[in-house]
Amino acid sequence: MDVLRDAAILELQRRNLDLLRQQLDVTRNRQAIGEVTATDIAQVQSRLAAARTEVATAQAAYNTSRATFERVIGSEPGKLVAGSPVDRFTTSTLDRAISLARSEHPAVTAAAYGVDVALLQTKIAEGALYPMVTLEASLKRRWDVMPDQNLTFPAQSLDASIVSRVVVPIYQGGSEYARIRQSKEASGQKRLALEAARKLARATAVQSWSATNAAKAQVDSAEAQVQAAELAFRGVLQEYRAGQRGTFEILAIQQELQNARVALVTAQRDRVVSSYALLAAVGRLAPQVLNLPTESYDPSLHYHQVRDSWAGIRTPDGR
């Protein structure tokens, strides 16, 4: 979206520069017949110099956006299609967005698993205080390598034993109790972290929701501003040609129209980006939700490929 925005702004600045060049030619012709003075020429030249600076600035911003695109994506932008908001994948109400953010956001999910791990660690620590029961069984068979010559078969013996042990801890110096208390404190910290993650997810969802609605309003306002500025520019241009408007007035209304068009392009970019930010805030910015034509990463696949590997150093892909 930054590449599309900067490309559109660069094109607008170039058109504005061409229009000012034409305006300078017209003003010089009018000066030749005595309709305007050298002051009018200076005004147009000043505005033309500023337009050249704006073109150079827009070109630099466009080059930067392209470089960032190539760094993130891995290839040059090429020909990009116009971006569109992803409101269809989000919710229609703020309350629903908050509910999804508090339950489905990845940070909240990770914090919830952290609480479960802390509870299991507490149970493991408490296990040191419980009795331990072991059962051992053995079976031995022995053949005599020097059997008695009077025996038909070699002498052999069979020994079997089963031993059961019960160990009851009586005094362990207090370290086990300290580890239990420590794990319980850690569990409390994880619960606080979970609540903090939920509050942050809620705040982010509200902020993204507000930003999305504001971006919608900005697009509507910018479109109305462009329409009004275009109408005003056409009217002032006709009056300028009829000699009823001065050079400064035509330059001012032309710059106002240029600013309105740039504001509209920026608002359209912000509208699309804010919709993606809202989708991320509710925990749904994923290839599966967006129906992207790409293979989705399955974190359980690698686990099932290596969970029974007792030896070996190669990864599943052969490295």
Residue of higher predicted confidence among 143 and 220: 220
Question: What is the CA 221 to chain-centroid distance, rounded?
Answer: 28
CA distance 268 to 260: 12
Percent of the chain with pLDDT over 90: 66
pLDDT digits (tens, 9 = 90+) for 249-258: 999 999 999 9
Place 214 in a pLDDT band, splitting at 50, 70 and 90: very high
pLDDT at residue 145, as a whole number: 66
Average pLDDT of the segment spanning 220-244: 92
Give the Cα separation of 52 and 16 in Å (integer).
9
**Res 128: pLDDT:** 86
User: Residue 156 pLDDT > 80, yes or no?
Assistant: no
Q: Where are the domains of the chain?
A: 1-82, 118-185
pLDDT digits (tens, 9 = 90+) for 165-191: 998 888 777 888 899 999 999 999 999
pLDDT at 149 over 90: no
Residue 146 pLDDT > 70: no
pTM, two decimal places: 0.78
What local confidence, expressed as pLDDT, does residue 151 receive? 57
Tokens of 131: 């009795």
